[in-house]
């Protein structure tokens, strides 16, 4: 019984450490996904002049998870014309996604501020500046990433082991 309890503590603490590391990687993945989506949006705008509601739906198709929800919500808000401007629609779309990581909030907010305000060159410039924000955020996350992820995992395992020793 004792051994089972010890294993349980060890696994849950270790799992916690691993889940923090997983979330960290997930944030990076989402940022990369947003970068690719912005790239796709730029091309769509430049070569097809796709209207914003349709563009948001296309963006939702190429990304997954929480980003897909944001873009789908944005497309709906734009189609319902719920706000006077696209920035307001983006805000409403983001509010509906409660599990949006902080690292995505800033670039998405910036994206909302630039969407639908300018003509084509201005809009492309706006997308570029959002891409730049994403890259900076990505670089920040990448800094000492491996060491940091290893420490999260090790810390989780060590905390579990410490608890086992304490309870034993």
The position carrying tokens 């990433």 is 145
- Answer for which of 49, 147, 165, 166 binds other proteins (CB under 8 A) is 49
Does 123 bind other proteins (CB under 8 A)? Our answer is yes
Would you count residue 32 as binding other proteins (CB under 8 A)? no
- What gap in Å lies between CA 103 and CA 77, rounded to an integer? 23
How many residues bind to other proteins according to rule CB under 8 A?
A: 20
Q: Does 53 bind other proteins (CB under 8 A)?
A: yes
List b or e across 119-150, with b for residues whose CB sees 16 or more CB atoms inside 10 angstroms. Answer: eeeebeebbeebbebbeebbeebeeeeeeebe
Q: Is 113 in the site for other proteins (CB under 8 A)?
A: no
Name the nearest CA neighbour of 156 among 42, 1, 23, 4. Answer: 23
Q: 37 or 123, CB closer to other proteins?
A: 123
Which CB, 85 or 95, lies closer to other proteins? 85
Given a contact cutoff of 8 angstroms between Cβ atoms, the answer to whether 51 and 79 are in contact is: no
Smallest separation, CB 38 to other proteins (Å):
16
Structure tokens of 45? 């705008």
Binding flag, residue 52, other proteins (CB under 8 A): yes
**Would you count residue 142 as binding other proteins (CB under 8 A)?**
no
Contact positions vs other proteins (CB under 8 A): 45, 49-53, 55, 78, 81, 84-86, 89, 115-120, 123
């Amino acid at each position: 019984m004792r051994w089972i309890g010890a294993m349980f503590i060890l696994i849950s603490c270790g799992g916690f450490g691993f889940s923090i590391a997983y979330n960290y990687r997930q944030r990076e993945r989402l940022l990369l996904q947003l970068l690719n989506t912005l790239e796709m949006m730029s091309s769509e705008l430049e070569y097809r002049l796709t209207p914003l509601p349709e563009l948001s739906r296309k963006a939702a198709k190429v990304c997954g998870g929480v980003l897909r929800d944001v873009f789908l919500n944005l497309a709906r808000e734009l189609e319902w014309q719920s706000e006077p401007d696209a920035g307001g629609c983006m805000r409403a779309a983001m509010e509906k996604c409660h599990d949006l990581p902080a690292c995505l909030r800033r670039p998405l907010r910036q994206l909302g501020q630039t969407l639908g305000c300018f003509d084509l060159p201005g809009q492309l410039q706006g997308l570029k500046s959002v891409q730049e924000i994403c890259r900076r955020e990505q670089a920040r996350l990448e800094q000492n990433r491996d060491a940091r992820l290893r420490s999260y995992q090790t810390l989780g395992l060590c905390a579990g082991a410490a608890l086992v020793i304490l309870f034993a």
